[in-house]
Amino acid sequence: MSAAAAAPQGGIRQERRGDAVVLSIDHAARRNALSLPVRQALLAALREADADPSVRAVVIAGEGAHFSAGGDLSTMQMSDVATARDRLAQSHELVRTLARLGKPVIAAVEGWAAGAGLSLALACDLVVGAESSNYAASFGKVGLIGDLGLLRNLPARVGAGRARRILFHAESLPAAEALAIGLIDHLAPAGQALDEALRQAARLAQVAPLSIAASKALMADGLDALLDRERELQALLFLSADHAEGRAAFLEKRPPRFQGK
């Protein structure tokens, strides 16, 4: 696999490292925001890795200082429910692929994993975070629910009570706390998350691949029902007055004034 040039709305860089392939989100100008082109490129790269029997693990990282700051609000202008549902359906194909990929997937997080960036990290099988990394589920601040399977993967990692606290308060968590509550699996010195993720990938390459693939397939049970429900609710929220207000407040760098509409 060779490195791919970044598109204006971001892309994915691919690099083979031993038995693993590293897929780096390359949209550093927007703190690696997960634009639709980024999501589509990542999906294609994952499918390519899955089809290659010599690849034993996949590492997802971010170019530059951050893993991903989440969805690109500047492109999230939905005119109707059908458009919103279609956007979510495309993103959900990425989530399903991560869950059912026949190889382990490791997130290597430097800087921020926020919003959909956090959702992407938690959709991976393991999360390695740099000591300087931070995590946030800030969907409520823009009138949305956690998507990309976050409402399944976050409680599975930290428990329902902590998940409610993180989601409802839109809390930011430093790496040490994220490790203590099980949000992430391994801690690495700043700047070395990718190196540690590759060490974990090498360990996983010693495990029978069919065992990992079968385990992932079973653990993905129930995902489709949640994503279908997520698509319906999030599509409605995209058209709400509160989302319009939250989006405007974010872009104008002011506190939002929500009215429950």
CATH homologous superfamily of 11-192 equals 2-enoyl-CoA Hydratase; Chain A, domain 1 (3.90.226.10)
Average pLDDT score over the chain: 93
What is the predicted pLDDT for the residue at 6?
Answer: 46
pTM as predicted: 0.93
**Per-residue pLDDT tens digits for 120-129:** 999 999 999 9
Closest CA to 98 of 217, 239, 256: 217
Report percent pLDDT > 90 for the chain. Answer: 85
Does pLDDT of 1 surpass 50?
no
φ and ψ at 15, to 5 degrees? -145, 130
Per-residue pLDDT averaged across 193-220, rounded?
97
6-15, 56-65, 176-185: least confidently modelled range: 6-15
- Residue 12 in tokens: 């994915």
Residue 227 has pLDDT above 90, yes or no: yes
Phi, psi of 51 (to 5 degrees): -80, -10
Q: What are the E-state strand segments in the chain?
A: 11-17, 20-26, 57-62, 105-109, 112-114, 126-130, 134-136, 172-174, 186-188
As a whole number, mean pLDDT of residues 216-222 equals 96
**What average pLDDT does range 4-15 have in this prediction?**
73
pLDDT score, position 3:
44
- Residues 131-142 have pLDDT tens digits of 999 999 999 999
- Residues paired with residue 60 on neighbouring β-strands, in sequence order: 23, 107
Contact criterion met (CB below 8 Å) for 250 and 133: no
34-38, 61-65, 244-248: which is most confident? 61-65
Average pLDDT (153-179) is 96
Residue 206: pLDDT band (50, 70, 90) is: very high
pLDDT of residue 165: 96
Give the tens place of pLDDT for each residue, 49-104.
999 999 999 999 999 999 999 987 766 667 788 888 988 998 999 999 999 999 99
**Closest-CA residue to 59 (of 69, 49, 68):** 49
